[in-house]
């Protein structure tokens, strides 16, 4: 693992009066160009530099006149975060800890898996859902991120790729509860999907939520439809209330999930964090199989990634295998997700806490 303290130039990260350039790239660029009597095609060129050619600053946009680049750099800061930590793990996972100029720290991750290049992004500083085992929510939610702050994570992660690598997937599984910040998330995902944005198919964009039924219905009613992953973590309401205190009753949640599936045709994913001695017993597996019934769903089981200071543990391999066997025998599609980058605190919120001095970052 290597770690660098990064070197973003301060002039590229200052705050603009009108918020973030990436909150609304096209209208802001067009207005700036128009005010100076400059041709509109420059806007398209700049978009191409940012999203396709992975430019890290205005100066890299080498087919723009020098004078224009200098004027853009003076007027329109591209970035509103500073890279506090950049950590690379041996398995190819890279993680950024960003300090935002509007305040707060967030994390985002690049995962490499064969030809897949997946980025995992955050939607809030902290999280208000209070899932008892999760590092992100331990101090509650500070604020929602803006669209620009979400797009910025995508671009900064894309800049970590080698020239021959291509971004293939986006997962919104970082810090925060995205259904509490759809206002900012949806325009940001539109940039991920647009052909002249990151150009990623909606089937390869997954948003993960504890499930707020009204917000799921709002998503069902808007276009386009992304893949939805629901964080279940418990097969019955009593246990779920303990683990996911902000959660809704399971039947209400599954009904909203079914409505989303009916209009989107997107296969549902359910996530289940496996916590030793809490939700990992054979009976939990049987209840879960019964709960999900005949749904066309994928069940993503995530063996717990321990968080310093919290009492939860990862189940033994034997326990994990029994759990998997029962679900598979019941006809469910089950995938065990062994978290990548666990050596670099890749589970959401962990690096931020480590950097806050609550515990020392392990290194190898």
The catalytic position among 120, 131, 134, 348 is: 348
- Quote the least distance from Cβ 205 to ligand SAH, whole Å: 14
- Quote the least distance from Cβ 307 to ligand SAH, whole Å: 5
- Quote the least distance from Cβ 123 to ligand SAH, whole Å: 8
Binding map of ligand SAH across residues 345-364, x = CB under 6 A, - = no contact: --xx----------------
Which of 87, 182, 273, 289 is in the footprint of ligand SAH by CB under 6 A? 273
- Quote the least distance from Cβ 329 to ligand SAH, whole Å: 24
How many of the chain's residues bind ligand SAH (CB under 6 A)?
17
Contact between 56 and 76 under an 8 Å Cβ cutoff? The reply is: no
Whether 348 sits among the annotated catalytic residues: the reply is: yes
Nearest to 154 by CA among 124, 179, 181, 122: 122
- Quote the least distance from Cβ 126 to ligand SAH, whole Å: 11
Q: Does 23 bind ligand SAH (CB under 6 A)?
A: no
For residues 78 and 354, which CB has a smaller minimum distance to ligand SAH in the complex?
Answer: 354
Q: Which two tokens stand for residue 45?
A: 């060129």
Which residues within the stretch 154-173 sit at the binding site for ligand SAH (CB under 6 A)?
Answer: 173
Q: Does 192 bind ligand SAH (CB under 6 A)?
A: no
Whether 107 sits among the annotated catalytic residues: the reply is: yes
For residues 55 and 243, which CB has a smaller minimum distance to ligand SAH in the complex?
Answer: 243
The catalytic position among 94, 107, 149, 152 is: 107
For residues 156 and 233, which CB has a smaller minimum distance to ligand SAH in the complex?
Answer: 233
Which of 21, 299, 302, 332 is in the footprint of ligand SAH by CB under 6 A? 302
First to last CA, the chain: 6
Q: Which residues bind ligand SAH (CB under 6 A)?
A: 131, 133-134, 173, 177, 208-210, 231, 271, 273, 302, 304-305, 307, 347-348
- The residues annotated with a catalytic role in the active site are 107, 348
């Amino acid at each position: 693992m290597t770690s660098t303290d990064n070197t973003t130039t301060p002039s590229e990260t200052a705050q603009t009066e009108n918020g973030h350039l990436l909150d609304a790239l096209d209208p802001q660029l067009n207005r700036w160009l128009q005010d100076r009597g400059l041709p509109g095609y420059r806007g398209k060129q700049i978009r191409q530099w940012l999203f396709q050619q992975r430019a890290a600053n205005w100066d890299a946009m080498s087919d723009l006149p020098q004078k224009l680049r200098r004027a853009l750099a003076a007027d329109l800061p591209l970035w509103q975060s500073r890279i506090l930590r950049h950590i690379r793990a041996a398995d190819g996972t890279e993680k950024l800890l960003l300090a935002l100029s509007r305040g707060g720290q967030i994390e985002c991750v690049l995962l490499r898996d064969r030809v897949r290049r997946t980025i995992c992004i955050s939607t809030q500083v902290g999280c208000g859902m209070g899932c008892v085992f999760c590092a992100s929510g331990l101090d509650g939610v500070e604020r929602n991120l803006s669209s620009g702050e979400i797009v910025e994570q995508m671009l900064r992660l894309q800049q970590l790729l080698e020239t021959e690598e291509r971004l293939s997937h986006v997962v919104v599984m970082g810090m925060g509860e995205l259904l509490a910040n759809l206002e900012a998330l949806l325009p940001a995902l539109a940039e991920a999907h647009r052909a002249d944005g990151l150009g990623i198919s909606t089937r390869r964009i997954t948003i993960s939520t504890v499930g707020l039924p009204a917000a799921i219905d709002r998503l069902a009613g808007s276009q386009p439809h992304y893949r939805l992953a629901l964080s279940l973590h418990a097969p019955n309401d009593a246990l779920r209330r303990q683990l996911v205190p902000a959660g809704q009753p399971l039947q209400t949640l599954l009904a909203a999930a079914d409505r989303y599936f009916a209009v989107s045709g997107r296969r549902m994913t359910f996530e289940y964090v496996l916590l030793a001695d809490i939700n990992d017993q054979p009976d939990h597996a049987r209840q879960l199989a019964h709960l999900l019934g005949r749904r066309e769903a994928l069940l993503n089981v995530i063996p717990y990634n321990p968080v310093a200071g919290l009492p939860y543990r990862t189940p033994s391999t034997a326990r994990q295998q029994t759990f998997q066997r029962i679900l598979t025998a019941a006809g469910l599609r089950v995938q065990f997700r062994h978290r990548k980058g666990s050596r670099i605190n890749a589970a959401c919120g962990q690096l931020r806490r480590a950097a806050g001095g609550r515990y020392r970052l392990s290194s190898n």
